């Protein structure tokens, strides 16, 4: 990895997150920036982790499951991490598909009620 370091402000800008979010990710040990006095500096590893964190959040994973998954790399290596990733992804895909089915059903019900109301209104039965 390169030894490029970016500041707290640059990290927020690069990943479009608030300072509060970045501090929270540090607090729950998702990120571990270098400190010089009160300043924080993030290296390429922190940037890679942040990319994975944001991707995980986008896909609906909890911060705790993301933290555990990231720690797994340090403890057991990438093969173990990828095995857990596949298991977690399968579970999340199942959950998202279930949510989509529920949303589709709700849309159909709402559309039907809306159409019935519009038809009744047009027929003067309102």
The percent of residues above 90 in pLDDT, for the chain, comes to 86
| Mean pLDDT in residue range 99-124 | 96
pLDDT mean across residues, the chain: 93
The boundaries of the domain holding residue 86 are: 78-126
Same domain for 93 and 103? Answer: yes
Q: Which pLDDT belongs to residue 118? A: 95
Rounded to whole angstroms, the Cα distance separating 98 from 27 reads 33
Residues 95 and 126 in one domain: yes
Give yes or no: residues 2 and 32 share one domain.
yes
Same domain, 62 and 10: yes
Please name the residue ranges forming H helices in the chain: 8-15, 19-27, 44-58, 63-76, 78-122
Whether pLDDT at 25 is above 90? yes
Q: How many domains does the chain have?
A: 2
Over residues 25-31, mean pLDDT: 94
Task: Work out the average pLDDT over 37-59.
Answer: 95
Same domain, 17 and 68: yes
What burial class does residue 43 get, using C-beta atoms within 10 Å of its C-beta: 0-12 exposed, 13-18 middle, 19+ buried? middle
pLDDT greater than 60 at residue 2: no
Q: What is the pLDDT of residues 70-109, one digit of tens each?
A: 998 888 888 999 999 999 999 999 999 999 999 999 999 9
pLDDT at 34 over 80: yes
Starting at the edge strand found earlier in the chain, the sheet holding 39-42 runs 6-7, 39-42, 34-36
């Amino acid at each position: 990895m390169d030894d490029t370091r970016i500041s707290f402000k640059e990290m927020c800008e690069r990943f479009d997150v608030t300072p509060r979010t970045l501090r929270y990710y540090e607090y729950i040990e998702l990120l571990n920036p270098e400190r010089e006095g009160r300043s924080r500096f993030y290296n390429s590893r922190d940037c890679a982790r942040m990319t994975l964190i944001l991707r995980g959040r986008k896909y609906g994973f909890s911060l705790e499951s993301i933290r555990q998954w990231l720690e797994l790399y340090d403890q057991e290596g990438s093969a173990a991490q990828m095995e857990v990733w596949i298991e977690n992804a399968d579970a999340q895909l199942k959950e998202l598909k279930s949510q989509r089915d529920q949303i589709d059903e709700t849309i159909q019900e709402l559309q039907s009620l809306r159409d019935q109301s519009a038809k009744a209104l047009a027929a003067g039965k309102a």
